[in-house]
Amino acid sequence: MSDLQLLLAISLVMPLLSALAVLVFSNQKNIRDICGPVGGLIAFTSAIFIASAIMDGKTVSITLWQIAPGIDLSFAVTPLGALFGLVASGLWILASIYTVGYMRGAKEKNQTRFAFYYAVAIHAAMAISYSGNLMMLFIFYEVLTFSTYPLVAHSQTKEARNAGRLYMGILVATSLLLFLPAIFWVWTVSGTLEFTKGGILPADFPPFLVSVMLAMFAFGIGKAALMPIHRWLPAAMVAPTPVSALLHAVAVVKAGVFSVLTITVYIFGIDFLNTTGSAVWLAWLAAFTILASSIIAITKDDLKARLAYSTISQLSYIVLGAALATAAATEGAALHIVMHATAKITLFFCAGAIYVNAHIKKISELDGLGPKLPLIFIAFFLASLSIIGIPPMGGSWSKFLLMAGSVDAGMPLMLAVLAISSLLNVYYLLEPCARAFFKPAIKEVHVENHILTIIPPVVTAMISLFLFFTIDWVRPLTTLMVMP
């Protein structure tokens, strides 16, 4: 086993070890709660080494064995996977620190069970990023669904259970009804499921069937929250905020769009999609989702619900990039995974921090809160700018590339869609900050200061800012992804 394989194994196993450690130390709260950050740190370090090896043009893979002809149990890092692995493990460090502050501050029950499934979910996300083929990706996609169910239904109230049922129902049903049959289909026509640059479908595969297959993937991967398969995401917001932050802004939903992007790049091949024009319909559907969910977001007064609809909208940016299937657009989509993840996790961290420290959930009650929680609202503001796509925030790069990609793809109307979406973002994301800083307080609010809930959003907001200047650190990965 080479050093790189060892690193790959470490980054995959570390979250699982951390989950086991959580169970072992369930009675010593402080040791238990350090397991997550330590595991995250080790996994993230390995992920950095793996990513830099990939940038140097090396390949990293582990093949365990073959379960059926053309279907291996194997991990192989693609440039896109290396990027997603960085995002998932890096943000896990901060999220697990934040979790401690939040769960203790909100005095949630069953913290051990929560920490356990949290780590298992991250394991699934890491395994998804480093999957070598579609089968592995599917297996861990399902592991992710099942491991997040106890987190969504965590409070065990009737509302939480019903939300959990809807969550599982939609995600499992779509994956079994469409995703898995689509995988079988690919296997039947190609005899393999390996992620390969340029795709694996036979060149004479009819364009109409390509569209059908793409639809099976796009709707079968419910985690990408493409309309009309998006209802589970707002429902999942009953979960404690750390779940919404890491899982429903980063790991789970990004696993969804990551899968869509991986499939368009490594199963269909972007040139193949581009020449057959089979993905044009998907671009329009993504555009519709972007605008429709932004409009719904405006109507939501509950902060987490608004952020949830904003997430649905932003996820479709990535689906749009995949569907446009040009080099610039897919690069933009891949970078948007990073940019949106850092910005959206900040927003959720802030929402949770506002709840824990001031016990407020509604936007209309935020008036005058700014001066009392200044760091949180500044972080919120910066992250909002990143999502809107204003320099000097990281989000401006991905939006720029997506716009360039729409022109390349000969769909300049998408420019208008992206521009309108930015305007809507301005409207619904800046409102909370505007209220907090410029409106007088209506009532006296008692504010606590749980430091562990305040530091993580500030750090992630700084990362968002930082990514604008250090885009060249991650860009090589996306360039490698689209290189012929």
Partner 1 sequence: MLILDNIPALLVAIPLLASAVVSLIPSARIAWGIAFVTTLICLYMAFELVGIISSTQALSYAFGGWEPPWGIVFVLDSANVYLVLLVAFVSVIATLYAYTMLAREIAVEDLPKAYAVWLLAIASLFGLAMTGDAFNLFVFLEISALSSITLIALGAGQDRRALLAAYNYLIIGAIGATFYVIGVGYLYAATGSLNLIDITDRLNELGTNQAAITGLAFMLAGIMVKAGVFPVHIWLPAAYSYAPSAVSSLLAAVATKVAIYYFARLLFGIFIDITQLVDFFLLYILMPVSVLAIFYGTIAAIYQSDFKRLFALSSIAQIGYITFAFSLNSHSGILAGFIHIINHALIKGALFMAVGIFALGIGSRATMSSMQGVGRQMPITFAGFVLAGLALIGVPLTAGFISKLYLFKAIFETGNGFYVALIALSSVLSVLYLWKIFEVMWLKEPVQPQKIDKEPASAYLPVWLMVTVIMTFGVYSGDVISSGIGAANALIGAR
- Residues making contact with partner 1 (CB under 8 A): 65-69, 71, 73, 135, 138-139, 142, 172-173, 176-178, 180-181, 184-185, 187-189, 212
State in Å, rounded, how far the first CA of the chain is from the last one: 29
Residue corresponding to tokens 């399902």: 142
User: What is the Cα–Cα distance from 306 to 387, expressed in whole angstroms?
Assistant: 14
Residue type, 209: L
Which C-beta is closer to partner 1: that of 2 or that of 66? Answer: 66
Residue 433 CB, nearest distance to partner 1 (Å)? 42
Residue 269 CB, nearest distance to partner 1 (Å)? 20
List of residues 6+ apart from 285 with CB closer than 8 A: 218, 226, 227
Residue type, 356: V
Alpha-carbon distances, residue 460 vs 230, 326, 332 (angstroms): 26, 30, 20
> Cα 168 vs. chain centroid, distance in angstroms?
18
List of residues 6+ apart from 58 with CB closer than 8 A: 4
**In degrees rounded to 5, what are phi and psi of residue 264?**
-70, -35
Residue 171 CB, nearest distance to partner 1 (Å)? 12
Which C-beta is closer to partner 1: that of 139 or that of 415? Answer: 139
- The candidate with the shortest Cα–Cα distance to 199, out of 257, 271, 132, 275, is 271
What is the total residue count of the chain?
484
Residue 260 CB, nearest distance to partner 1 (Å)? 19
Residue 188 CB, nearest distance to partner 1 (Å)? 4
Residue 6 CB, nearest distance to partner 1 (Å)? 23
Which C-beta is closer to partner 1: that of 181 or that of 277? Answer: 181
Neighbours of 194 (CB within 10 A): 18
Which C-beta is closer to partner 1: that of 155 or that of 479? Answer: 155
Residue 1 CB, nearest distance to partner 1 (Å)? 20
Which C-beta is closer to partner 1: that of 17 or that of 180? Answer: 180
Which C-beta is closer to partner 1: that of 179 or that of 355? Answer: 179
User: What is the Cα–Cα distance from 143 to 253, expressed in whole angstroms?
Assistant: 14
Which C-beta is closer to partner 1: that of 189 or that of 298? Answer: 189
Tell me, what DSSP letter sits at residue 71? E
